[in-house]
Amino acid sequence: MFYAVVDNLSKKICRLPEEAIAMFKKYKLDSVRVESLGLYNDYDHLCDDLQAEFERVSGLSIEQEEEGTVIYFVVRHKEDSTLDEVLSLGKLKTLEYRLFRKMREKLRDFASFSTNASIDTLIERYIK
């Protein structure tokens, strides 16, 4: 039996984090740490906690947090947990990762441009 983390034929975005982790453990696959920021009934409280998490992740190094964190926005139903579902996902990247990625994009563009450009064009674009 095939057990997909994301079922492309489903209307659901993906499986709940706890279901995915259980599957990874079952098949002895590596997974990342999972933790909850909390349950929210108040939008302002949610925004405050998201801002705090953004600031925490932004300040970490690639060594500490690799690329960053994925946030799952999940609706939980007290009366019936089988109705729980992922509404959306969000990514928080470390500042270090964002800087390295931007440099990589610039270098890729430079390498692509420089293979097709004359030395005069390169000097004009990057030195003047």
Cα 13 from Cα 120, distance rounded (Å): 50
Say which residue the tokens 């996902």 belong to.
89
pLDDT higher than 80, residue 123: no
pLDDT of residue 84: 94
Question: Which residues lie below 8 Å from residue 84, measured CB to CB, with a gap of 6+?
Answer: 16, 74, 75, 76, 77
Cα 81 from Cα 12, distance rounded (Å): 15
Question: The domain containing residue 119 runs over which residues?
Answer: 97-128
Question: For the chain, what is the domain count?
Answer: 1
In a domain, 70, yes or no: no
In a domain, 86, yes or no: no
Q: From the CA atom positions of the chain, what is the Rg in Å?
A: 21
Cα 24 from Cα 3, distance rounded (Å): 10
pLDDT higher than 60, residue 14: yes
pLDDT of residue 47: 96
Please provide the average confidence, as pLDDT, over all residues in the chain: 85
Task: Provide the whole-model pTM.
Answer: 0.72
**Angle of helix 95-116 versus helix 119-126 axis, rounded to 10:** 150
pLDDT higher than 70, residue 120: no
In a domain, 22, yes or no: no
Q: Any idea of the CA torsion for 51, 52, 54, 56, to the nearest 10 degrees?
A: 170
3 three-class SS: coil
In a domain, 23, yes or no: no
pLDDT higher than 90, residue 105: no
Say which residue the tokens 């300040």 belong to.
59
In a domain, 104, yes or no: yes
DSSP state at residue 57: H
